[in-house]
Structure 1
């Protein structure tokens, strides 16, 4: 019995070790034994009734079951009875057994005990919940894989080795114009009859080699007759023995891409050499395939430096023969000169690594249209093709492995995110992890809108989801749209999104294919910016060829920068070396007016206020100064820089000519951070172009200058002198005014050069030129150096030869008389002059100059200091100069005297005053008529001193007569233009009156009308100051100065004198009398007294009296008399003379 007991214990231990729930039933269905799992299951489900214990009838319990499980329980009882009765060898049943805590599945198996008539059965419940869950997952994954397969934005199909299409996604079926069910299981030759042979040839190559074939380009004709260009990758897949059993094909429709590349070929040609920092390779070749440019990206990709590849043969360096001899194709393309073409080929890096690039090529043409080379932009698609190969391999595994879904998702370059009907994420591939910054574990189960949708778009997203769930309508489904997305760090980026619903699911689910288009947007913006700057470069390059003047160059360059470059303000300033500042030369833009208010705000001296501005730094350091945030820049130049126009960025580019900064180009832009490295590189070239144009203009101006000017002295040469002289002669016309031409020769100048060196002689000539420039009232253009030590001068506006002689004596003396100090030496020079007069000595400039040179030659031969071409003129000048000398002596020797002419009242004949007139009592010739010496006094300026003497003498005579008890009448003294223009005139009058308080009552100053009208405002102030001293003012020669009534009313005068010309005309014509009447009435309306000059007849007196004139003066009354005679004749006479 003990061994039997031991066996029972062992058997029970074995049963208890099993995880299945096991019970032994006898032939009646009574439980005779259970294992531990049976007991535990009953306890967990609160089954404590005897029915599940040993000794209870299991069949009765099943028959009596109620509720949802009653039917399954009765089926189980029937199966157990069938086995007990021998009707069935065994029985099994799968059934659910769900509890609030979990959902579980079991399988019930009933096995007989005994070989023939069963003595009982073994009832076993096995938990198959995990197997059922796995089966459900596998079913869902199969559905999801099929959906992903159909929704992939590429065409995918699988074929066997006999060209039969096994599976095809909806994208590919739609491209063929058929349904999926119409294609799967049929030969490709039936579906694509026109292209099948070409397609199948590639298939056979892949099947035979067992290797993928990528990048195949085929043309497919659709059901609508339109041709589509496809790019295909064909990848074989194998059975367990590595035998090829089929091909996976991945195809992309590149028709639109081809068309877009065609449209962009012009843009590629223009910007290929500007793509230095883009992730695109750029190269330009000449007609011999020599490299003329490589951008930094291509150099980094291949490992070469620019210096190493420039000038080398492209094909020998990067595409040797083992990659295929493409150079003949290159030459043929240049001969055919297509505008653009596109190729993909491999190339070697420096380390012999192969890289696959897709090239967009276009020809480069000269200005005449001749093909001069090729510009190419290439995209490194090595990794892309590798990724495409990985996708193709993943597609192959789709049929063979349940893990294909994850491989496709994770190898996709696009983000793939799937959500359920509540918007929770159920799939999140690795591209999405990289793009959004969340791990897959973090994203799964989270609301998608809160994770990746910017806050401002979330309400719209939720409304769209709700609308679809309610109506089944989704306007954005199946379309490519561009939106902003949000990363984990809160930053946003632009994306391209395609949303598609997932079919065959119990509740709606969606898949989103997302592509980050940041780089594409940036490339578009970069191309737009480069296009803008290129337009400015092109415009200014054309400008530099066309323009030959600085002002036009600067003005149009600023205009082009604003109009084509879209800068808010552009201005150019030039360096003033003498003032050590930058002076604006031209500007354009909305706020360029700020320069006018800050003309002197760009100093270059380091000790000056504002010396650390960006302009000053750019000039001093000869480098570009960029400020991409003006409001925070301490180098802001002015308080009024154009912030109002929205400018936040500024660049100051020095204009360098021969290494020196000659100016600056300053540009303002609206956005902050506007001037990046690419734009800076282009603008530096722009500044170089402008600087080159400045240098070119300077060289042209220099050549033009040397053609017309003497380089040593800066004076004009003979050609320019003759041109300016001829212009002056032409402007003079038939005028009686003469122009004098002088040719001056420095005597013994050669001795200075021989004794002291040519440098000393050159310095003497430079000093002479400087003295010419300092002559008062002279223009430097009147002087010229016509040979080594010979100068030519012209002096316009000469009224007579005497004035010419005085010019020689005064002007030339100022230039040549002072000594010259050179290198510690004090030098004196003497000169000879030849003089010719236009029009007396020639009809044009050349003839007059030749005659002046002839006069110089004669002066040197005869030893005269100067000679006129006409000998008589020399004599006249000598006489005139002698007269000037005698007049100067006359002032010193008191040879001038005053004569007085009385003025009387026209009504009663009483003496009202007298006019003091200057006379010269020459000891040699006696009394000299005024007409012979007064003009000389005025020309020489002696009239100033003589006029002052006359005023003092008249006051002296008046006071003498007053002290003698004679009649007190005012004495009128004429004031010359020199006196009135003198700043000290008022003070001189005051000093003359200071001798006696009664002096002012006896003085009247006569001013000619024409003199008053020279500077009305100034003269009014002067005369008012004199009048305030008690001196009366008379306007002489009225009617000859063209004064207006408005000025006449303002003049501080007391008396108006009618010119003798009008008095004489008064008796000749009625119009003359009417004119005098008008003058009298007008003067009286302004409360002025009227005096008529030059009255010589009784008829004139009668008319004047009738017209109401107040006083008269003239030979009818008396000629001018010496002072004593005037006093005895008029001051003692009774009134009514």
Structure 2
């Protein structure tokens, strides 16, 4: 029968009447007493009757209140017992001896036993023997404390072990001794197994990520790092801890951070992978290039929650690509969406929800209702003497009534109680107000508690009614004790509670919820609003779930993201049910909250690691401790061709190439055993049989006992890099034009040949070959024709050699030949003659070009002329220099005088360098005279070297050394700057205006930015650009025609004039010259010297003057020494001249004096 039906059935009257019989008896006694006293003392009888009547009413009211309290206590006890028994958490009470007093149904289910059979069992016998120490520590938990959680194994009767998480709480409650401890237990068997698996897999994936050489970083949508591997930390030169949880703005520079954020936003907006090239500076200062791919990470609902960036170091490939003049771009798309690698953790609150309906069937020791006892009535005088006593039960009196009457309170009861009673009695007599107090008294070896009520019964008398409240006190203590046990059970489980009173719309949370959300204030319920702190994405679904729970009477079960008071989000698992009143109206909505933050973060890390595992470009394989493959990633299949099904359970030996010895693998595994890691190159055989080189990294993964559980191998196919290295090695040791060995490889082979010759007492020869007039071929037909000729020369020379000989191109038109096994010195001379004869034959090039070139050869023999590779090559070079000096087209052997000449050239080079630093060099200036007026209109700056030891060293001696060693660039810059400085000083001194001619070498013209250099010198010195004249040779202009034209145009735009020096000795034609912006033609002195004796020279000079005028440029004659020469030039309208006729080159001060002393006009001699 339901409670509603019970409430509608009429109840019998007799039980209610039976409860009032004592009070009817009391009224009868009162009537009889007043009748007995009235005749003797009517006032006293009236007071006694009134007092007794009031006492009777008080007794009836107390009896009524006691019944209500007992009923309420019984209902509360029943609800608490049912709540404890139906908790999803196992709970049992243990006495100080370690014996079980009571265990709820959940705990009995965990133990595999009946709940009724738990009482009296020893607590420690329920668990695995290895957990005995932990059990004893739990029993030693101090009062008012809760032990830390311990993970123990229950030993069930069926032999199965079950993992549980237990907490021991010890709290005696208010005023009660410590009799019991409360133990709570949660079933974490699946959680433990899953957690171990989760940790294990996370360690595996973490090892994979850490082993990958690519720089890997995972960021959330706000740009904060969620994960970073050591490769990224090494690239950024900071530990992983300073990357993870930090925004990109703190990890990278401003530009890189902005680029990263833009790439992340683009990847999310376009829903695709973003590839880009990033640049970093390594620890060694070298610039590192990364090919970075950024892809979107999505959750189970397909919503983006972050991005993963994988950067591969492609610096080596970029460098190889640049040196091979080819590009190699590698683009890989990371797989979108991570595998769901989460392990389902057991919900500990599911059992709590199912067990919430039945309450406290096994809490039998808490007895709620005790029978009411009759009350005692005492009459005292003002001295505390017992005047009269009424007691329906004499066993409640401390002594027989006859022995008590007439005696004082202090003579009957203990002194403390007597003092309290007398104090309250005096207060009643003085104030006339009712006094109520409680006291305890030992009766027949039992302690009883009484509630005493005192009222004034007359002027000097007090009526006291004592009610035995011993059982009520006991019930109240038991209730407090039960509440304390329930509180300890909930605190021990670590879960929080919420209770929503739907009538008043107030929500209360337990302290555990405050701790979960890091609340440190004093009014949590006022400051906390759940819906305001929910993640925006969870608000709508949470409201819908609450409505469904209230409307459909279903269980509320949601995982929520809640912002804590410390600013961090928590994952909370809320589960609850609605309680209904008898009218089927929802009354309360309450439940349990579990903090799932660590679990969800672990699952997120696992998903991230799995995403990296599946998305990385490197092949990954994982083996167990016995080297059996347990997992591979997609890149493994792409690189080697084996599917996952084909290799699972096999060892990596199935991919062995046979190229490595047993010793190689023994050393590899020894390194792994010693350091836990190995990295190196290894050759593996693909499924199609192709053997490929790979860069492999193997790492050991350890379990909680520091034992190897798995090995993780990460590898990259380096076939392309190997091929590139081979090509690069070929380029490094061969001439790119002729494919012959270069100087480096030739020297290496020469050193090896010397070792062999020294060991066998053999002979060898080194021949240096240089083509004669090869520069003329370049100047006349261009560099393409010159390159074609060099290739033909290499082919023709190779056809004349033996296989043991080595032919190399050292640079330009210079070749070297190594002859081994030379029997006689004449063998080298014979081969040199054959080569000279062969190369002197006509050459036919493309576009119908036919030409002839010769070759000069220098020979150096081992061991006669030298013992080392350097000595032999220097000796052959010196002999070649002698051959070219002796007329070209011949060969010469090395001799000591050649070494002496080479040493002198080296000494001269060192002295010239020192002279340049010490400012030993000087400029002399040769006047340039206008033929028509006879006045000096310009000066040519000529370099002079007054050596402090040898005196004046002629330019013909040191200029060739400067050109061959590259010093000509520094000399040219020195001459240009000092000439402009001197010209500016003359202007400041007020001397007549004149031009300053400066010679520019071909190297200076082509190998530096001459226009920039001139502009800088003019700016520094202040010398006018229009007065500067640069003299170039025909060969310098014709060598690189297009570049020369651009440089001349830049100089003309600056206002600088350009002159052709030594005109007539080159191969320039009128059609070539007219294309260049020229200002002056200088006739070479070789055409002036024999005028007027040589008719040909006179015609050539006249033709040059006419051609120059046709080009619109001025013409200047060099080397004019006689009046006849000047008269001829004047007749042919030559514009100006320079030479000894007027003056040789003069120092600056003498040249200035010449300018000051010259007459207004100088007559031109007549022919």
- Same structural fold, with TM-score higher than 0.5 when normalized by the shorter chain: no
* Bigger RCO of structures 1 and 2 (CA < 8 A, at least 6 apart): 2
TM-score (normalised: structure 1):
0.29
Q: TM-score, length-normalised on structure 2?
A: 0.28
